[in-house]
Amino acid sequence: KHGVHDVQSLFTTDDDNDAWSRYNINKIRFRKKICKGIPRPPAYIYERAKRILDINNHKGCFTAEEIELLKKLQRRHGNKWALIGAKMKRHRQALRDKFKEFKENRVTGPWTREERSALKNAVKEIAGTDDLHSVTKIPWLEVSKKVSTRTANQCRREWAHFLCWSESDRRSHVWKESDNAVLIE
* Same domain, residue pair 42 and 85: no
Per-residue HEC secondary structure of 38-93 comes to: CCCCHHHHHHHHHHHHCCCCCCCCCCHHHHHHHHHHHHHHCCCHHHHHHHHCCCHH
Residues 120 and 163 in one domain: yes
Judge whether 138 lies within some domain: yes
Burial of 111: CB neighbours in 10 Å, binned 0-12, 13-18, 19+: buried
Angle (CA) 156-159-161 rounded to 5° is 105
Backbone angles phi, psi at 60, to 5 degrees: 85, -165
Please check whether residue 165 lies inside any domain of the structure.
Answer: yes
Confidence check: pLDDT of 183 > 60? no
Q: To the nearest whole percent, how much of the chain has pLDDT over 70?
A: 72
Domain boundaries, position 125: 113-171
Do 76 and 88 meet the contact criterion of CB atoms below 8 Å apart? Answer: no
Same domain, yes or no: 128 and 156? yes
Q: Is the pLDDT of residue 162 over 50?
A: yes
Determine, yes or no, domain membership for 150. Answer: yes
- Is the domain of 131 the same as that of 164? yes
> pLDDT, tens digit, for every residue of 33-78?
777 888 888 778 888 888 888 887 778 889 999 999 999 999 999 8
* pLDDT band at residue 16 using 50, 70 and 90 as cut-offs: very low
Q: Please classify residue 81 by burial: count the beta carbons closer than 10 Å to its beta carbon, then call 0-12 exposed, 13-18 middle and 19+ buried.
A: buried
Does residue 15 form part of some domain?
yes
Same domain for 48 and 69, yes or no, is no
Q: 106 lies in a domain?
A: no
Taken in order 125, 131, 133, 135, the sign of the CA dihedral is negative
Q: Are residues 29 and 69 in the same domain?
A: no
- Mean per-residue pLDDT over the chain, rounded: 78
The answer to whether position 137 is within a domain reads yes
Number of domains in the chain: 3
Q: How far apart are CA 159 and CA 23, in angstroms?
A: 44
CA separation for the pair 47, 39 (Å, rounded): 15
Say which CATH number the domain at 68 has: 1.10.10.60
Give tens-digit pLDDT for 114-157. 999 999 999 999 988 887 777 778 899 899 989 988 888 889 88
DSSP letter, residue 167: H
Are 49 and 80 part of one and the same domain?
no
Residue 108 within any structural domain of the chain: no
Q: What is the DSSP letter of 183?
A: H
The answer to whether position 93 is within a domain reads yes
- Assign 166 a pLDDT band (cuts: 50, 70, 90): low
172 pLDDT above the threshold of 70: no
Q: Is the pLDDT of residue 95 over 60?
A: yes
Longest dimension (CA), the chain: 61
